[in-house]
Amino acid sequence: MRPDQALRYDVNCSIMFTELALLQRPAAVRAAGFGAAEYWWPFAIAVPADREVDAFVSSLRDAGIQLVSLNFFAGDMAAGDRGLLSCAGRGAEFRDNVQLVAAVGEQLGCRSFNALFGNRDDVAAPQQQDELALGNLVYAMDAVARIGGTVLVEAVSGADRYPLRTAADAMAVIDRANQAAGAANCRFLADLYHLTVNGDDVAAVIAAHAPAIGHVQIADAPGRGAPGTGQIDLAAHLGQLADAGYQGWVGLEYKPAGATADSFGWLPREQRAAPIGSTPSTEGAAKTEGAASTEGAER
């Protein structure tokens, strides 16, 4: 077995299975042979009604799907927002969402939580935005630490005003946050698609930062399609991660060309479920009412 074949794969249900209603997606993940899923924040607002959250939690439990990663609320992503960490005037909204995210994580055994940094704006100087982001990031780290959680930070492509473009950009924020918090529960989300599109040498990034990687996401480039539809040597990169000791999840965060269930031909069914004995890890994690407005947004 190649090293990449021993890795654990999950399905991002905010970019995949979007042809189904939000609450139907976990069952579709199970039917496709997977046992785990991840989501961007699956609601249009930071703190939705309890009944909506309860229905989301039940959809995963009823399908027997493990939630392995969940984003904090990132604003209106379809309109261009990319996180609230650095956004003045939205701190209370973000922190209220952090408490809810931690509660959902506690219920579902999810321990990895992705925090998008936020776009640069024309109101505050970049240094002021960075200081605001640091305070919000440390708050999130403290909140999820009580359940053994990790906050993830990633580089993002496709958003011109998003300041974290490379692994070095993200790692600078991560190192500063861990130092400020006196902790080590801020880690790198290595999205191999975003890193490639933004010009990073992915093999060099893995070699330099493998111990700091808390979660991995993949799509091919160009096009952000399924593995094998572009030019990224994803098997080589995943093999390098496995050789470096990565034991976390690999999130499938690509855009299917047609029906999502028909897009998994590149991954044999016997490799879709987590390996026997595998447990969730924080190591290097027609729409229903309230369903996310993030669908269709590029992240």
Q: Which residues are catalytic?
A: 154, 253
Of the chain, the end-to-end C-alpha distance in Å amounts to 32
Nearest to 84 by CA among 72, 96, 101: 72
Taking CA atoms, 4 is separated from 31, 114, 194, 240, in Å, by 23, 23, 20, 8
Tokens linked to 76: 């209106």
